[in-house]
Structure 1
Amino acid sequence: MADHPTLVLIRGNSGSGKTTTAREVRRRYGRGCALLEQDHLRRVVLREHDWTGIGPVAPTFIAATARAALDVGYHVVLEGILHTERYAGVLHDLTGRHPGPVHAYYFDLSFEETVRRHRTLTYEVGFTPEDMRGWYTPRDLLGLPGERLIPESADLEEAVTLILQTSGLGAAPPRTPCPARCPHCAAKIQL
């Protein structure tokens, strides 16, 4: 592939809106963009607790998964809390070795706002505001060049628009054969 895919990191505290935002960014972009959710990869795929005392596999696994998707030409939206204490090394390595564009975003919200947003979720998450307080780390930035803050005043539409416009994904063409050459997608278009 002549041009390199884009890597987008969306980070923030629990309840900040990063998963909802990442899912919408990928939905609007379309096919050819891998969505990697830290919680899914760590909790579901690895069934691993997020604790440094166990020598976690998740940081390396998540970075390797992102690298694999980038290497086959997919844009990658990687989202999660991704605390710098455990993830800074692998994320700096991933972004430093990626020859294409890298864009990092951090939801800069107060603890009270993360709890307020958490209470608006329509699905069961299995943790309480008290749990969230123990995880909360204010302004846990990676220090990457151009890392952007998403303020708590930004709603979903503003956050998604910011990411699509500043990362270039909003104007980027699809990177996979669907729907142009895929018989499954072509059949849907003809309906």
Structure 2
Amino acid sequence: MTALVILRGNSGSGKTTTAREARRRYGRGCALIEQDHLRRVVLREHGGNGADAVAPGFIVGTARAALDAGYHVILEGILHTGQYGDPLRRLVEDVPATCFYLDVSFEETVRRHALRAEPIPVTAETMRGWYTERDLLGVPHEVVIPESTTFEETVTTVLNLSGLTNTEPQTPCPTRCRRCQERAP
């Protein structure tokens, strides 16, 4: 069975860095779906488009397609409940998921954003407009990770509670891929 991990939080909360590290530690067989990449790069869609937004359905559809293909999925983004809540809740009803929310204060998100290797060019005022305090999905067993949690503790929590530490890949790569089989011990 495939694992679905949903990692949400405000801009600068550490969700992208955490998701990338969790996927790196897992290895092949785990798809990383980044809201910002799909919405901004693939669709070139601005946030807050209301009912006309394509991104919520597209992102959830991409996650479903990866899960159906046998990939474990880490889906990360701000994923505000106002626009993404209903599609994400429907996904969680259909697919066993572990949902995490990085609960970080506004001041801490601004501090963390400034420390990024490649910060996006936005002001604290712009970030304030994006910030929603404790924007939980309200699904069973949603895990809230407080800002006092270290990066290592956060990654370990995500991997352990989601089951990815004990889950084998289901995809052709690496289980049936010729290249991966050639490298196997």
Regarding TM over 0.5, the answer is yes
Could you report, residue by residue, the CA deviation over 1:12-42 in whole angstroms, capped at 9, with x for unpaired residues?
A: 0000000000001111111111100000000
Aligned twin of 1:123: 118
Using the alignment, how far apart are the partners of 1:108 and 1:53 within structure 2?
Answer: 25
Could you report, residue by residue, the CA deviation over 1:68-126 in whole angstroms, capped at 9, with x for unpaired residues?
A: 1111111110000000000011001111112xx31000000110010111011011412
Counterparts of residues 41-190 of structure 1 (less than 5 Å): 41-53=38-50, 55-98=52-95, 101-179=96-174, 181-186=176-181
Using the alignment, how far apart are the partners of 2:175 and 2:126 within structure 1?
Answer: 46
Q: CA separation of 1:148/1:174 partners in 2, compared to 1, >3 Å: closer, same or farther? A: same
- Give unpaired runs (5+ residues) of structure 2: none
Using the alignment, how far apart are the partners of 2:100 and 2:40 within structure 1?
Answer: 23
Alignment coverage as a number of residue pairs: 185
Could you report, residue by residue, the CA deviation over 1:41-62 in whole angstroms, capped at 9, with x for unpaired residues?
A: 0000000001134711000100
The amino acid across from 2:14 in the alignment is: G
* Displacement of 1:170: 1.0
Q: CA separation of 1:8/1:130 partners in 2, compared to 1, >3 Å: closer, same or farther? A: same
* Two-structure CA RMSD over aligned residues (Å): 1.6
Using the alignment, how far apart are the partners of 2:50 and 2:183 within structure 1?
Answer: 50
Identity of paired residues, percent? 61
Task: Tell me if structure 2 keeps the 8 A contact 1:31–1:175.
Answer: no
3-state secondary structure, aligned to 2:45: coil
More helix per residue: 1 or 2? 2
* Displacement of 1:176: 2.8
Q: CA separation of 1:177/1:73 partners in 2, compared to 1, >3 Å: closer, same or farther? A: closer
TM-score, with normalisation over the residues of structure 1? 0.91
The amino acid across from 2:127 in the alignment is: M
Using the alignment, how far apart are the partners of 2:65 and 2:130 within structure 1?
Answer: 29
The amino acid across from 1:156 in the alignment is: F
User: Which residue among 10, 17, 34 is the counterpart of 2:14?
Assistant: 17
Using the alignment, how far apart are the partners of 1:69 and 1:61 within structure 2?
Answer: 12
Using the alignment, how far apart are the partners of 1:166 and 1:37 within structure 2?
Answer: 20
Using the alignment, how far apart are the partners of 2:176 and 2:51 within structure 1?
Answer: 46
- Give unpaired runs (5+ residues) of structure 1: none
* Displacement of 1:186: 4.9
Using the alignment, how far apart are the partners of 2:84 and 2:128 within structure 1?
Answer: 20
